[in-house]
Structure 1
Amino acid sequence: MNTLKRYCLSAAIAALSVVNAQAADIVDTAVGAGSFQTLVAAAKAAGLVDTLKSDGPLTVFAPTDDAFAKLPDGTVETLLKPENKAKLAAILTYHVVPGKVMAADVVNVSGAKTVQGQQVDVKVDGSNVMIDNANVVKTDIECDNGVIHVIDSVILPADKSVVETAVAAGSFKTLVAAVKAAGLVETLSGDGPFTVFAPTDEAFAKLPEGTVENLLKPENKQKLIDILTYHVVSGRVYSSDAVAAKTAKSLQGSTLTVKVSDSGAMINDAGLVKTDIDATNGVIHVIDSVLLPPAKGANAQQVIHGAIAQGSQLFNAGHHDACANLYSQTMHQLMDTDLDPSLRHHLTSVMQTANSQHCPTTRAWTLRHGMDQMYARLANK
């Protein structure tokens, strides 16, 4: 019996020793591995050791020493200098995600928001997983305050502002010209963060001829400001957050509607063609149409009359899709005015019917008929 007790006690002590050996935080685990010396040195220089030793939990995508060695010569040495502490901290926290995210969870998402604030992209191709442009080479190294996944390259956060990102893309020349004409460059280059639903040059080209030229005139500056700020939301709102929220209040003051269907996601009646483009002070989502803010305080009958006059010209010229888009935008404008519940229900019903129709001609006629009915009902009030 004494022999059995001694055996059980020895086994218990051995088991406890194994548990204690495994119970290391993220920093100690990285130090013990021996292949993250540069990462550990960088964490110390950035003043992040205490953070990475905290209760967490945290998920770290950890670049190996070989990964840091792939950076251009002198990069690491420059980042380790005291004057670059903030930049180094931003890069390192871009490798950290709040919570304990195991490999099985990582492969089920397309992106993850980091401690730094920006989002890393997650791409899965069979058994290969990439975090931005880095391959995940080892997963699920558990620590007592989180988990480490090993990557083969250092990943870098975006280093351009919203405006700089739009300029560099080359497909937002009209938008950038409009931002300059409206005097909004300094605002959109500020700290933010901002979420911008950015119409492409092709989106602006869909507007009736002469519209952009008129908006760029100095006398129309306030109208241009209202249109542009209607495309901007305060905060860094990623696509998954926008879809979950379903609505977002713009800087212009009016509300944007987020819809998801089998054909894709839409902001009002503009299709989302690319999402989650990070910038230092926000995030950009690309849309295929220009959003027009509602005419607050305007007479609804005047709005309808003007839209029908303009839409009729587009329809008669054969631009049925442009006509339908104009009518749809007008209905969204009217929804943001003071309407009684019956008229609001009427507009909602008409727009839902139109959204289910794929033929531009039929869609234009459905919307036109709905506006005619609303105009008549308003006239009888």
Structure 2
Amino acid sequence: MTNSINQFIKGGLGLLFLVFMAACSQIEDQAIPAQNDLKLIPEVLKTMETEGDVNNSNARKSAGRTFATFNAALGKSGLASVFSRNDLTVFAPTDAAFAELGLNPGNIGDLEGLTSILLYHVVAGSVFSTDLVEGFVPTLNGAGVEISLMNGPKVNESNIILVDKQARNGVIHGIDAVLLPPSDNIMELVNNNENFTILKAAIEAAEIENIVANTPNITVFAPTDQAFIDLLNSLPEVDTLEDLVAFLGGTDGLISVLAYHVFADGRVFSSDLTDIEITMFSGDKVTIDTSGPKLIDLGGGESNIIDTDIQGNNGVVHVIDRVLLNL
């Protein structure tokens, strides 16, 4: 099982990037001093400032870029020791970025969810600008950030405006907007999506709402309403969800089918998909075919992945156009 997961999450979710130097050529580099001359990340943040404008058409302009609010947040949250003792890559918002949210060193400690927000700006290991590639990267928050390189490097919608400020225990990149982690859990995502009304009803019929809402680090392949309608139309004398539950042998059968749509061993983003057979939460196999991309269930049925990387605070959702069956 461990080997298949390691193959499925190609390269390992913790081994983040390869070389993409050209995309970072327009942002400001910092000279990398000898290792014994370096300070720890919180100490480096206290002194970080660049003068003048960066030659990047996407970057917000200011006379200088300081990081006092981010550094103050580390102290207020009690995370300074975490940022001092571990090998990390930090995407640090400027003071101007926090100011756009009305935040400064004096009031940053009052921000709800401060610890979660700060951890959403941190990736394990030292990743320099020359190592960035497009795709999702897991943060210490658990949720992923998306790296994009077209039209200048970005993290989610925030421009990377300063790169490769090295610390003794990692590297800091400056960004021009605060990154906000997903706030809804997966059950809330289902509840709020008009294409998941039947899936919502099925989860409620199975009485597993709390499991969907609170199980951490899961990947859900969520069938649309049309996928359920197509399934009902394909089965004789099955017209309603109640009929489907009876067809599946009762609530336990429904739970098994729903569990067949969940990969419970980590958050797997579209950029991590590779051709492999994996084991779902139900204990049954499903095959990933990246040529679609699509999933192939035990009966050989194919389900296209039609939308990807919808993040909740406890996992990620991909949308599929056919219900997977493990009958």
Same fold (TM over 0.5): yes
| Other structure's SS at 1:157 match | coil
Superposition RMSD on alpha carbons, in Å?
2.6
CA distance in 1: counterparts of 2:275 and 2:100, whole angstroms: 41
Candidates 139, 143, 163, aligned match of 1:118: 143
State percent identity of aligned pairs: 32
Shift of 1:77: 6.7
Go from structure 1 to structure 2 and tell me whether the alpha carbon gap of 1:185 and 1:227 turns closer, same or farther (over 3 Å shift).
Answer: same
CA distance in 2: counterparts of 1:199 and 1:253, whole angstroms: 19
Q: Highest CA radius of gyration, 1 or 2?
A: 1
Shift of 1:59: 0.7
Once the two structures are superposed, what CA deviation does each residue of 1:319-376 show, in whole Å capped at 9, x if it has no partner? xxxxxxxxxxxxxxxxxxxxxxxxxxxxxxxxxxxxxxxxxxxxxxxxxxxxxxxxxx
Go from structure 1 to structure 2 and tell me whether the alpha carbon gap of 1:220 and 1:283 turns closer, same or farther (over 3 Å shift).
Answer: same
Shift of 1:121: 1.0
Decide whether the 8 Å contact of 1:112 with 1:121 is kept in 2: yes
CA distance in 1: counterparts of 2:257 and 2:271, whole angstroms: 23
Shift of 1:178: 1.0
| Other structure's SS at 1:258 match | strand
Shift of 1:181: 1.3
Report what 1:270 is aligned to. Answer: 303
Q: One-letter code of the match for 1:146?
A: G
Report what 2:125 is aligned to. Answer: 99
Decide whether the 8 Å contact of 1:102 with 1:147 is kept in 2: yes
Q: How many aligned positions are there?
A: 269
Report what 1:147 is aligned to. Answer: 171
Report what 1:300 is aligned to. Answer: none
Go from structure 1 to structure 2 and tell me whether the alpha carbon gap of 1:129 and 1:25 turns closer, same or farther (over 3 Å shift).
Answer: same
Report what 1:250 is aligned to. Answer: 280
CA distance in 1: counterparts of 2:307 and 2:240, whole angstroms: 23
Once the two structures are superposed, the pairs formed by residues 1-381 of structure 1 within 5 Å of their partners are 19=34, 22-33=37-48, 35-54=66-85, 56-71=86-101, 73=102, 80-81=109-110, 84=112, 87-106=113-132, 108-126=133-151, 128-209=152-233, 210-213=238-241, 214-215=243-244, 220-239=250-269, 243-244=273-274, 246-261=276-291, 263-268=292-297, 269-294=302-327
- Alignment TM-score, normalising by the size of structure 1: 0.64
Go from structure 1 to structure 2 and tell me whether the alpha carbon gap of 1:259 and 1:146 turns closer, same or farther (over 3 Å shift).
Answer: same
Q: One-letter code of the match for 2:295?
A: M
Decide whether the 8 Å contact of 1:179 with 1:185 is kept in 2: yes
Report what 1:375 is aligned to. Answer: none
Q: One-letter code of the match for 2:315?
A: G
| Other structure's SS at 1:156 match | coil
Runs of 5+ in structure 1 lacking a partner?
1-17, 295-381
Runs of 5+ in structure 2 lacking a partner?
1-32, 50-65
